[in-house]
């Protein structure tokens, strides 16, 4: 473990240092008493060999008392270890959520979700496991090794010296293994991360795979990668195990050599026979623990590699920063302005133990617009025009690369981020739902009564749904709302947006994938819910945008026209093409075979 990593690990434990320090002191006390017990047994045997029976029993009594204290300390240490384990688990989870929730919406969208879940999941587990291994396995083991070697010096300098050389030799082999295998373990975990991402996508898109009849091809592709990883891992850990076995064999030879030397000293009368008990006990502890450290070493190397990636994620600087003294308006009017706004999408690459920002992709160029408070505005344009990117800037999913976004005249980065997002109701094209009740999905943490939800549902054209559900608003909707139709999911999304009584309502392609009946219901819901609110509607369908107070037309990341439906129909060629496509199924004079709604 390098110094930078150790320092970062120490900083991550800032709130747990006191209890960890106390746990270390308890472990130290336990090891001291463990060392004393065989010593007093040896003293009792020495006294017995010279006929000092009373002294022998006195030494045994002291050893027995030491053992009682040792057992008590061990019991309390186990109790403390359980407490530390639970507190560490809670601390790691809380720290992860506190850091990850600081990242912007855009950063989450730029990192593969399967890879992100694997980094967080493995990192949290490895963090807890590493601390558990260090505190409750390696630390006591190292204390016992060092204490035993010091105690052996106390019995005989020559035996202590031989044990010391053995200890240094074993630690040198451990460091050599670290230098040799850490890069290879990094590579293995990088491959596992990619495989986990592919597996997550495979499972998530299983309906697509099944309907296209490509099950065997996808399984073969995954298993091919799996077998390559298994082969790499087998070679890696076979080499690691061979090195560990060689180390264990050398330690075994060293241990028996020192034992033979101790017996030779007794035979020559240079060491009391009773001292063989503590000498052999301490020596056995040194050699056996040094031998078992190879298994813990393998765990630690893997854990450290996972934690480095985890730290790289949670140390990622948020793309959207929060002002130290943010503005918190008593009420938002909802006027939105963009002044010379340009934007480039950042990309992120997970590479070994780091997450690096990649090449940016331009999406908006010199956008200037004004959306008056309380007005309903539609944004239209072909796919890739920058409509959703513009909406993301309004919601502060990202900050512009240049220019300014102004809310009620305030520069958006100066406004309290939580207050601004709490003032926005957002409905995306593909509404995301939790596998929980409708009440939870609409309230999103807010406690709502049936009466409150009924009022919201009426505005969202969702009031007919409750009567068809056996458990009303407490009905669980299934994973991502699988028990609801597409139209019902969209209306739940609108209800969720309205539950916060937003000053600004943003609908990003909320009707694009619906049939005519559901599209009509959603349109009615939009008309009902947008009254008195600044409403931004991104849409392709003519029926959704014609009633807007004015329309913004975008193409290739630029705003090319603004005006009412009537004005744009006469002045903007692209808008006329979009209208013509919706009404007659033609674009640039060519007939289309797509159905027109």
| Cα angle 583-588-589, degrees, rounded to a multiple of 5 | 75
581/150: higher pLDDT = 150
Compute the average pLDDT of residues 377-404: 90
Quick check: is 140 in a domain?
yes
At which residue do the structure tokens 């072909």 appear? 382
State the average pLDDT over residues 2-28.
Answer: 79
pLDDT at 597 over 50: no
At residue 410 the predicted structure's pLDDT band, cuts being 50, 70 and 90, is: very high
Of the two residues 15 and 233, the one the predictor is more confident about is: 233
pLDDT digits (tens, 9 = 90+) for 276-302: 888 888 888 787 777 677 667 777 877
Kindly give the pairing relationship between strand 354-357 and strand 504-508.
Answer: unpaired
pLDDT for res 552: 93
pLDDT (0 to 100) of residue 217? 83
More confident residue, 204 or 448: 448
Asked if residue 594 is part of any domain, the answer here is: no
Is the CA virtual torsion 194, 200, 201, 203 positive or negative?
Answer: positive
> pLDDT value at position 585?
46
Q: What is the arithmetic mean of pLDDT over 510-519?
A: 64
**The predicted structure's pLDDT at residue 504:** 92
What pLDDT sits at residue 514?
A: 58
Tell whether 201 is covered by a domain.
yes
pLDDT at 313: 80
Mean pLDDT of 256-271: 88
Structural domain contains residue 202 = yes
Flag whether pLDDT at 487 surpasses 70: yes
Question: Tokens 């035993």 identify what position?
Answer: 148
Q: State residue 200's pLDDT score.
A: 75
> Is 45 within the bounds of a domain?
yes
pLDDT at 529: 67
pLDDT at 351 over 60: no
Percent of the chain having pLDDT more than 90?
Answer: 12
Supply the pLDDT for residue 136.
74
Domain that holds residue 246: 3-314
Residues 6+ positions from 97 with CB-CB distance below 8 Å: none
8-22, 354-368, 578-592: which range is least confident on average? 578-592
Q: Tell me, what's the pLDDT at 587?
A: 40
Higher pLDDT, 97 or 589: 97
- State mean pLDDT over 340-347: 86
The answer to whether residue 51 scores a pLDDT higher than 50 is: yes
Number of domains forming the structure of the chain = 1
Q: Which of 285-294, 522-531, 567-576 has the highest mean pLDDT?
A: 567-576
Residue 419 included in any domain: no
Domain of 120, CATH number, reads: 1.20.1560.10
Please report whether residue 531 resides in a domain: no
For the ranges 15-29, 433-447, 556-570, the lowest mean pLDDT is seen at: 15-29
When pLDDT is averaged across residues 215-220 and rounded to a whole number, the result is 84
Structure tokens at 153: 């010096």
Q: What is the average per-residue pLDDT within 335-345?
A: 92
Predicted local confidence at residue 561, as pLDDT: 93
Pairing of strands 586-587, 590-591: antiparallel
Is residue 263 domain-resident? Answer: yes
Reported for 569-577, long-range contacts at CB under 8 A and 24+ positions apart, including other chains, are 574/381, 574/382, 575/380, 575/551
The pTM (predicted TM-score) of the whole model is: 0.65
137-159 tens-digit pLDDT: 787 888 888 888 888 888 889 98
Backbone angles phi, psi at 409, to 5 degrees: 90, -10
pLDDT at 389 over 50: yes
pLDDT score recorded for residue 586: 41
Give 594's pLDDT tier (boundaries 50, 70, 90). Answer: very low
Asked if the model's pLDDT at residue 114 lies above 70, the reply is: no
Residue by residue, DSSP assigns 153-188 as HHH-HHHHHHHHHHHHHHHHHHHHHHHHHHHHHHHH
């Amino acid at each position: 473990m390098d110094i930078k990593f150790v320092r970062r690990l120490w900083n991550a434990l800032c709130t747990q240092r006191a209890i960890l320090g106390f746990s270390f002191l308890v472990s130290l006390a336990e090891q001291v008493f463990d060392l004393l017990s065989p010593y007093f047994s040896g003293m009792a045997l020495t006294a017995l060999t010279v006929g000092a029976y009373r002294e022998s029993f006195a030494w045994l009594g002291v050893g027995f008392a030491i053992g009682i204290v040792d057992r008590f300390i061990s019991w309390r240490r186990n109790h403390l270890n359980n407490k530390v384990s639970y507190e560490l688990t809670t601390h790691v989870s809380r720290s992860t959520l506190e850091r990850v929730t600081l990242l912007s919406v855009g950063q989450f969208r730029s990192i593969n979700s399967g890879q992100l879940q694997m980094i967080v999941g493995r990192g949290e587990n490895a963090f807890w496991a590493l601390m558990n291994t260090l505190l409750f396995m390696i630390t006591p083991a190292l204390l016992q090794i060092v204490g035993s070697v010091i105690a052996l010096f106390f019995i005989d300098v020559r035996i202590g010296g031989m044990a010391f050389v053995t200890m240094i030799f074993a630690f040198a082999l451990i460091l050599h293994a670290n230098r040799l295998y850490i890069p290879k373990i990094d590579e293995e975990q990088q491959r596992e991360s990619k495989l986990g991402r592919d597996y997550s996508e495979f499972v998530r898109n299983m309906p697509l795979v099944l309907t296209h009849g490509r099950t065997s091809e996808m399984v073969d592709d995954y298993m091919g990668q799996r077998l390559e990883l298994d082969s790499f891992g087998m070679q890696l850990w076979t080499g690691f195990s061979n090195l560990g076995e060689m180390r264990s064999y050398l330690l075994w030879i060293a241990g028996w050599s020192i034992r033979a030397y101790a017996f030779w000293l007794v035979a020559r009368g240079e060491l009391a026979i009773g001292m063989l008990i503590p000498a052999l006990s301490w020596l056995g502890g040194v050699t056996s623990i040094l031998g078992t450290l190879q298994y813990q070493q393998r765990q630690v190397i893997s854990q450290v590699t996972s934690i480095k990636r985890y730290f790289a994620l949670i140390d990622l600087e948020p793309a959207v920063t929060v002002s130290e003294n943010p503005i918190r308006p008593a009420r938002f009017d909802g006027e939105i302005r963009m002044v010379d706004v340009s934007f480039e999408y950042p990309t992120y690459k997970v590479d070994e133990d780091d997450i690096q920002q990649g090449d940016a992709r331009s999406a908006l160029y010199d956008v200037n617009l004004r959306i008056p408070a309380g007005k309903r505005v539609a944004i239209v344009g072909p796919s890739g025009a920058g409509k959703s990117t513009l909406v993301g800037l309004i919601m502060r999913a990202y900050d512009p690369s240049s220019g300014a976004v102004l809310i009620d005249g305030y520069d958006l980065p100066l406004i309290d981020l939580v207050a601004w997002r709490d003032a926005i109701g957002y409905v995306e094209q593909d509404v995301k739902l939790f596998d929980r009740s409708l009440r939870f999905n609409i309230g999103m943490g807010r406690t709502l009564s049936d009466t409150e939800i009924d009022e919201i549902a009426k505005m969202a054209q969702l009031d007919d749904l409750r009567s068809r559900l056996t458990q009303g608003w407490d009905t669980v909707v299934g994973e991502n709302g699988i028990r609801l139709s597409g139209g019902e999911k969209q209306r739940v999304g609108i209800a969720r947006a309205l539950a916060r009584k937003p000053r600004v309502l943003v609908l990003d392609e909320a009707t694009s994938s619906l049939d005519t009946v559901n599209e009509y219901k959603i349109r009615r819901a939009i008309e009902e819910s947008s009254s008195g609110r600044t409403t931004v509607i991104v849409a392709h369908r003519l029926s959704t945008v014609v009633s807007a107070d004015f329309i913004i037309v975008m193409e290739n990341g630029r705003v090319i026209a603004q005006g009412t439906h009537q004005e744009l129909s006469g002045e903007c060629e692209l808008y006329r093409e979009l209208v013509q496509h919706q009404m007659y199924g033609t674009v640039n004079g060519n007939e289309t075979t797509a159905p027109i709604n």
